[in-house]
Amino acid sequence: MEIRNIIKNIYLNPRNFFLKNLGVRQTIFKNTAWLAFAEAISRFLKLILIIYVARILGATEYGKFNFALAFVSLFAIFADFGISQITTREFSREREKEKDFASILSLKILLGLGTLVLVLASSFFITPDPIIQKVIWILAIYTVVSSFSGIIFAFFQARQKMEYQAWTQIIQALVITAAGFFVILNFPSVENLSYSYLFASLAALIFILIFFHFKVFSLRISWQKSIWQKFLSMSWPLALAGIFGGIYSQIDSVMMGYWGQLTQTGWYNAAYKIIGVTFIPTTLIATSFYPALSKFFQDSKEKLQTVWNYFMDSMIILAVPIVVGGIVLAPRIIDFIYDPTYFPTGRETILAFQILLIMAGLVFLSNPFGQILVVANQQKKLFFVTLAGAVINVILNLILIPRYSLYGAAATTCATCFLIFFLLFKFTKKFTSIQPFNLKFLSSFAGACLSCIPMYFVIIQPKIYNLNVFLSILIGAAIYVITFLIIKTVTKNYLYET
């Protein structure tokens, strides 16, 4: 009945379908569509900017920028402290709690100021280079400014109005990309690039705050310590999880930069930035499902399991072909995106990219487990998971980076994500009502793997492999989707007949 109503609403009033919440499936679809639109545009713009930055600055200077950004990112969680995710969860369950938003804003201001002090003090111990130190200071302010957009987005997500987030996110990306291109083409330097990020983020934040104040919710500041204590008591496990998560995701670039491997840091991040594009689906799908999971956690265990199954199903269907197709087409992707002169032998980043693709697949599959733990008020378990990941990551990086440089960093990241996936699975099975392994999970995984077989044999054909890389990807994706739909149809008919 709900599907019929959705189709009817699309036909009669498509504007309502994409601007109003009409039902669970329609709301998830609407939010996913808006976030997909925003993520596709913003990630594409930022990727184009990064490609030109890498080419114009060169691997070493680009490595300096990424070293500074990775170091600042280690402290980024302090500017939010898990408050945004808890805000979405709490506001989506009880709209009356929106009255606490004024106190949350004041808490964000204090957290941002504290983060700046931490970064400024620590910068003197990580590098003696005054230019890199200055870049770290600029990017620290940029990170704090950007964190305020996060709390506004959390409010949008709680109301399941991702269309607001989508447009503000697009404007933010447009401003940053335009400023970045202007600077890198006219005044190319790491320091100037950092300034462009900072001023663009300030301009975008001003627009977001004005829109939010007049169109969504009146902004004001309140200094209620009781509200701070309430939200911090819920968010601290997420904050600690974020700290350790930042360690295992950023420490490799920091270590390489600290040991003077700035060129290798540039090559490694060149691969990592492309991997970031593959995270677009998992980010937008997870954001769309999170409010629905939070709601059904209180309302119905059956509906919670059903929505979680859809979530995991989406991750599996996307993860498997991205890993398989990406590994096969890795040389073509790297060659297409980056100038061949960027890599002396043309192979510096291909192997790292292929290893990181496996990591991306594990991140896809881990996301539903991490989300349900937060929804089930088991965020403390995430602390232990990320702590284990951070410890293993640091140990392996200390062993592998001096010997294998960026390849060791990539292998360490992959091994860390595998450990995290295993622990999240175990905790989800033990501490939530979700049944991870079920018929839908197994059938989706089997169908995705089987669908990759014809895709693989098609894209390795020289005539397909040597096409424009986008055409090769589209052909591979089409073969995968067609095969998957055939398998799904045959399986359904068989089960129905038996």
Are 38 and 170 contacting, i.e. CB atoms less than 8 angstroms apart?
yes
What are the C-alpha distances in Å from 318 to residues 25, 28, 312, 455?
A: 19, 17, 10, 14
H helices present in 13-100, as ranges? 14-19, 24-73, 83-93
* Residue carrying the six token digits 């106190």: 103
Instruction: State which H helix or E strand residue 198 sits in.
Output: helix 190-211
Whether the CB-CB separation of 287 and 243 falls below 8 Å is answered with no
Q: Residues 193, 195, 197, 199: is their CA dihedral positive or negative? A: negative
Which candidate, 109, 90, 216, 200, places its Cα nearest to that of 152? Answer: 216
Q: How many CA atoms lie within 13 A of 392 on its CB side?
A: 17
pLDDT of residue 416: 92
DSSP secondary structure, 315-369, as one string: HHHHHHHHHHHHHHHHHHHHHHHS-GGGSSSS-TTHHHHHHHHHHHHHHHHHHHH
Cα end-to-end distance, the chain, whole Å:
26
Give the pLDDT confidence of 322-365 residue by residue, as tens digits.
999 999 999 888 888 776 655 555 566 788 889 999 999 999 99
Predicted local confidence at residue 498, as pLDDT: 46
Kindly give the parts of the chain with pLDDT less than 50: 1-4, 6-7, 10-12, 495-498
* Residue type at position 437: F
Side chain identity at residue 339, one-letter code: D
Look at residue 346 in the predicted model and tell me its pLDDT.
Answer: 52
Side-chain half-sphere of 184: how many Cα atoms within 13 Å?
24
pLDDT of residue 2: 43
Q: Could you give the count of Cα atoms lying within 13 Å of 350 in the half-sphere of its Cβ?
A: 16
Is 69 within 8 Å of 272 (Cβ atoms)? no
Tokens of 339: 């100038």
180 φ/ψ sector (left φ>0, alpha ψ -120 to 50, else beta): alpha
Task: List CB contacts of 214: < 8 A, sequence separation 6 or more.
Answer: none
Cβ neighbors of 126 (< 8 A, separation 6 or more) are 71, 136, 254, 258
Q: How many angstroms separate the CA atoms of 48 and 45, rounded?
A: 5
> What per-residue confidence (pLDDT) applies to 12?
47
CB neighbours of residue 300 within 10 Å: 12
What's this model's pTM, rounded to 2 decimal places?
0.68
SS3 content of the chain, % helix, strand, coil (to 5): 90, 0, 10
